[in-house]
Amino acid sequence: MQKISIEALARQQITAALAAGSGRAADTVFGGHEKVLRQTVMAFKAGTQLSEHLNPGEATVFVLRGCVRLQSGDDSWQGKAGDLLIVPDGMHSLHAEEDCAILMTVAKARGGAAEGERS
């Protein structure tokens, strides 16, 4: 078993984002490209964003600190510390309204036969 302080990681990533030329920093705390589930602490300097993109599967954004805006088409949702945003299917973007940290959780869609099925 592994224990990770998400609060400490959020503080660390905000510090890194503020120092980075891109204004962003991230650390995957569970999973990765080879797993179905991936959880990543991401931090953004106010005014930066994740450009419009598609979901690789189901996703949520848990706001740890600061304030973000999730945009999908003409719809948008503001999230503040403690809010959980359900990322809609389709194109969307995320904008940092303040210096912020989020926990992004993604469960990627599996390709091919469902787990447990045999051809």
Question: Edge-to-edge, what's the strand order for the sheet holding 67-72?
Answer: 49-53, 92-96, 67-72, 75-80
Average pLDDT over residues 90-113: 86
84 DSSP β-pair partners: 62
What was the pLDDT predicted at 40?
95
Domains of the chain: 6-108 (2.60.120.10)
Q: Does position 33 have pLDDT exceeding 70, yes or no?
A: yes
In the structure encoding, which two tokens stand for residue 37, read together? 């589930």
Tens of pLDDT along 55-69? 777 999 999 999 999
Nearest residue to 102 via CA among 87, 117, 116, 119: 87
Q: What is the distance between the alpha carbons of residues 119 and 1, in angstroms, rounded to a whole number? A: 35
| CA angle 12–14–18, rounded 5-degree value | 120
